[in-house]
Amino acid sequence: MPASTAQDAPPGHDIATALAAVRARIAAAAHRAGRDPADITLVAVSKFHPRESVVAALRAGQATFGENRVQEAAEKFPPLRAQWPGLRLNIIGGLQTNKALEAVRIADMIESLDRPALCDAIARAADRVGRMPQLLVQVNTGDETQKSGVAVEEADAFITAAMTRFGDAVTGLMCIPPVDQDPMPHFRTLAAMAARHGLGVISMGMSADFELAIAAGATHVRVGSAIFGPRPAHRA
């Protein structure tokens, strides 16, 4: 994801206020859809933002965070766990096999299982580390060549294989619709696929479209800039 502006978050950007506003929007969207807001997990995407921003969100009651770079997450999050035992870290976005060991070590959920080589790397890492995060299969619903995620045509077979191999660790699906398209058909595709496989977790929707995702059945929305402000450009 490119940084949305060339500036740091405006001074005084109030993370607690922004979080409360996002939570209110999630609750309203859930009610409109006849759903219980408690069934929707807000994943606060803190990539490129400093640890202090994460702490501000933790103080405001936020528990679950998303990062798309393992190295950055490894620097930011493990030191916070002692003080914040409820903290949950999700790795979102494309994962290189050589980062699988560290990801398995630090993450509670990896949202981007998308190819056999990564399954192998995660299985080896889990053996070595002695823990297995929850796993979501990322589906490339727009079949974009440059994007991570398993192709729609291969998704059912891949999901079945991953569920067979990893059992209960596979809890759901994740997608990132193409930026220039109506996200709704993509959300519906993902929700239908999850239902077909009996998977409960559906991770979809970002700052621009999380309310639509909730209408389509999202159980996890990944929201960054609406909480933390624009991403600092220097790490983008």
Ligand X SMILES: *Cc1c(COP(=O)(O)O)cnc(C)c1O
Q: Can you give the binding site for ligand X, defined by CB under 6 A?
A: 1, 45, 47, 68, 92-93, 176, 206-208, 222-226
CB of 39 to ligand X, least distance (A): 19
Cβ pair 20, 199 in contact under 8 A: no
| CA distances from residue 108 to 28, 97, 226 in whole angstroms, order as listed | 28, 17, 23
Q: Which is nearer to ligand X, 205 or 217 (CB)?
A: 205
When CB distances to ligand X are compared, the closest residue is 224
Least distance between ligand X and beta carbon 139 (Å): 13
Minimum distance, C-beta of residue 176 to ligand X, in the bound complex (Å): 5
CB closer to ligand X out of 140 and 225: 225
Name residue 135's amino acid: L
Q: Which is nearer to ligand X, 117 or 208 (CB)?
A: 208
Which residue from 108, 123, 217 is spatially nearest to 161, judged by alpha carbons?
123
Q: What is the largest CA-CA distance in the chain?
A: 49
In contact, 117 and 98? CB cutoff 8 Å: no
Pairing mode, if any, of strands 220-223 and 109-113?
unpaired
- Whole-number minimum distance, CB 1 to ligand X, in Å? 4
Nearer to ligand X, 68 or 171 (CB): 68
